[in-house]
Structure 1
């Protein structure tokens, strides 16, 4: 399965599961030594065996495996794990849904998995394990009884999603939207769209392609994209020209309700506020219908979904302050959506936003931050707190609308504690604060202070 050569072991060794981390390894696992920029997993192979691993992969250019360590010698340990995942996937009758997009893919993955779980045994991507290491691990962690797997596919450049989709061979593929993240590697939004559409290369014949029809780039590039000869394309989105559109949207701080295509029934509810989340829920509706599920079962699944943490996670601080924790990641498009959500929320005395830098945006990073600042309006959002060097542009663009004294717009280049303290001075129990920033800004530390202190 991995095109390797056994060393120091025999056919009596049985492998149960795969791990790349000695901290979480279980008895019988095959240890996979990953090589990073500042570490080499081969250095921990002996420790892995000592903790119960049955054997280890061993990259040929790392010399001989340690004495007494059963090993499978391969040319490339990561590529071998990827081949292993592809081979295991082919052995199973599992049906796979692949989900990608610049924003919303994790939440969409969670919604699709919740829908399918109404009828099937479902496995889904955990956390952010959606790349060339994470996706193979997710496949190798599947129980043989798994009926469906919903796998998130992330990328930073061309060819990465093609690799993942060739491993997973999905029966349904979803593209949520095209944003601006990774612009420095892919050059343009068109480049990002092309990279996301690579998911179709591995799509099974006759499979479903559900994509955001509000994004003209996807429709324009689809005819020239390598894909199966036969597929079923379903467009979802807010625009009238889509196959699935939301109607009757109602929203509160706990979630959103909607119907589809103007129909009165069923009424769907998701435990997430925001029109962008409603649009992505349509992808789950499309997938559920494609696999023969009744609308009522789809509605039950959506109502019970549990989103991955730090994605519009509603929290209540000890002071009574409502915190919308969206600190997992940020791009211009996802930040715009979160700001629009905050503007639409009712029932709060004051609305406060804490915005961190949006990273990996290339040469236009300053422009993108200024555009976000220009969206902020004092009649809809009462206070603006910006964090990080790039977010200075957010504060500068927002300041003219809020008044030159700067009392309602504050910028903090590098001090989260001071930022949290200043928010505490204006935030009360009847207020709501949205926290949004790229992963590298670690704004969950600000959220944690809100949740552990009386403001």
Structure 2
């Protein structure tokens, strides 16, 4: 973005009498990461008032700042835009910049796999387009407008992740981003405490069509009956289904795991053999939605194949990490819900990467009143003939521990409520170069802490 302060003032319907030619090249809400030329946006909360950091923002190179009209003592002789509400102003600027931008906008939502799908899609497209994507978890009512406002003016494809915890949030984000293409990766159980049921989660995710361009298309998990029903009721919607069932518009078969990734065949709107340097059947499904977008953007099958072969995911998503003593970790510790945990466990049980297989599992959070049942049901997935040792971490994992007592001996079933060292020592004492260890838990459990002892 490269705008004069006058242009931004016009976006906000603000009268500006001075500093109108000041050039703004980005936005920031944090002086720790502010860049030269940014417009600083201070927020006033119960604990912290961002206006206290405005001077520091200018010292670090800010070009201008917003300032709440009812906040006293604005700095003198500085480029300032006075606003009623910082959050609303940020969103208003993002809408205006989005409306001016010529990129193809792609919205990605779903219970699991949002970030992986975003990464796979952006990586696949990067050899052929200038692509920018949501960085980190900037996927909410603050993060999405910041992401939009950081797009370069010559960006050709913007891949925007959309997260939510309640009804109405995805609709709000979709109407801001106005995507040409929208993706719903799947429907799981995350945010059950806020949305009440999987049906509620599906309806909340389906809000992504609210801002979809008239000529746009929705790509959705066709193996999910809840989404099938919603798509059927939206008769005017242009949609394509992906998945493993053969009645999808694009489906994958013959999935094979190697030490370098996943080989698979696809049939339907695209046909052929493909490879992604990522582990997991669920990641193959995430590649399918990327393939449909690539096809819609005009990429040939060969270009899609080339793009997928050089895909790279954000860390802690089925990330293979070798250690000096030969232990091989799969770091999938970024987040967890029953659907994604089941998929990761099934992958470990099916793979031939190593002979001895371990599970290190942490609590799954935000599951609502049925969280005990969800944790207990993971026991049904774990095959004691395939898994050598299970290490469980967190107070909720006590429920799974109790379900596994009749499957594993006490030597092979370890539980720790809050001490990582118990698990670390177990790995140090019993794991070997024959061991493959899955780390999987919700973000709040920080299971990657276990890995640090071996790197």
TM range (shorter): over 0.9
Q: How does 1:410-425 map to 2 (within 5 A)?
A: 410-425=414-429
For residue 103 of structure 1, report the CA deviation from its aligned partner: 0.2
**1:406-452 alpha-carbon deviations (Å, 9 max, x no partner):** 1111110000122211122111112110000101111111111122x
For residue 292 of structure 1, report the CA deviation from its aligned partner: 1.1
Output the CA distance in 2 between the equivalents of 1:6 and 1:426. 69
For normalisation by structure 2, the TM-score amounts to: 0.94
Residue of structure 1 in register with 2:3 after alignment: none
**1:372-427 alpha-carbon deviations (Å, 9 max, x no partner):** 13321210111000000001111111121114xx1111110000122211122111
For residue 370 of structure 1, report the CA deviation from its aligned partner: 0.6
Q: 1:264 to 1:102 in 2, by over 3 A?
A: closer
Q: How does 1:223-302 map to 2 (within 5 A)?
A: 223-224=232-233, 230-261=236-267, 266-302=272-308
Residue of structure 2 in register with 1:331 after alignment: 337
Give the secondary-structure state (helix, strand or coil) at the position aligned to 1:261: strand
> Among residues 300, 319, 323, which one is paired with 1:313 in the alignment?
319
Q: How does 1:378-397 map to 2 (within 5 A)?
A: 378-397=384-403
Residue of structure 2 in register with 1:128 after alignment: 137
Q: 1:230 to 1:61 in 2, by over 3 A?
A: farther
Instruction: Say if 2:231 and 2:237, in contact at 8 Å, map to a contact too.
Output: no
RMSD across aligned C-alpha pairs, in angstroms? 1.8
For residue 356 of structure 1, report the CA deviation from its aligned partner: 0.4
> Among residues 224, 243, 261, which one is paired with 1:215 in the alignment?
224
Output the CA distance in 2 between the equivalents of 1:264 and 1:29. 43
For residue 262 of structure 1, report the CA deviation from its aligned partner: 8.0
Output the CA distance in 2 between the equivalents of 1:5 and 1:320. 62
Instruction: Say if 2:349 and 2:383, in contact at 8 Å, map to a contact too.
Output: no
> Among residues 195, 203, 212, which one is paired with 1:194 in the alignment?
203
**1:149-191 alpha-carbon deviations (Å, 9 max, x no partner):** 1111111111111111111111000000001001111111111
1:30 aligns with 2:36: no
**1:35-89 alpha-carbon deviations (Å, 9 max, x no partner):** 4553232221121112111111122343342334432111210111111111111
Q: 1:6 to 1:22 in 2, by over 3 A?
A: farther
Give the total of aligned pairs: 446
Q: 1:23 to 1:327 in 2, by over 3 A?
A: same
**1:114-165 alpha-carbon deviations (Å, 9 max, x no partner):** 2222321111111111111111111111111101111111111111111111
Output the CA distance in 1 between the equivalents of 2:88 and 2:310. 37
> Among residues 420, 426, 436, which one is paired with 2:430 in the alignment?
426
Instruction: Say if 1:377 and 1:402, in contact at 8 Å, map to a contact too.
Output: no
Give the secondary-structure state (helix, strand or coil) at the position aligned to 1:296: helix
For residue 224 of structure 1, report the CA deviation from its aligned partner: 4.8
For residue 215 of structure 1, report the CA deviation from its aligned partner: 0.7
For residue 221 of structure 1, report the CA deviation from its aligned partner: 2.1
Output the CA distance in 2 between the equivalents of 1:38 and 1:333. 36
Output the CA distance in 1 between the equivalents of 2:269 and 2:208. 32
Output the CA distance in 2 between the equivalents of 1:160 and 1:385. 36
Instruction: Say if 1:246 and 1:262, in contact at 8 Å, map to a contact too.
Output: no
Residue of structure 2 in register with 1:322 after alignment: 328
Instruction: Say if 1:356 and 1:438, in contact at 8 Å, map to a contact too.
Output: yes
For residue 8 of structure 1, report the CA deviation from its aligned partner: 8.8
1:450 aligns with 2:444: no
Q: How does 1:58-137 map to 2 (within 5 A)?
A: 58-137=67-146
Instruction: Say if 2:242 and 2:288, in contact at 8 Å, map to a contact too.
Output: yes
For normalisation by structure 1, the TM-score amounts to: 0.94
> Which runs of no fewer than 5 residues in structure 1 stay unpaired?
none
Output the CA distance in 2 between the equivalents of 1:78 and 1:413. 39
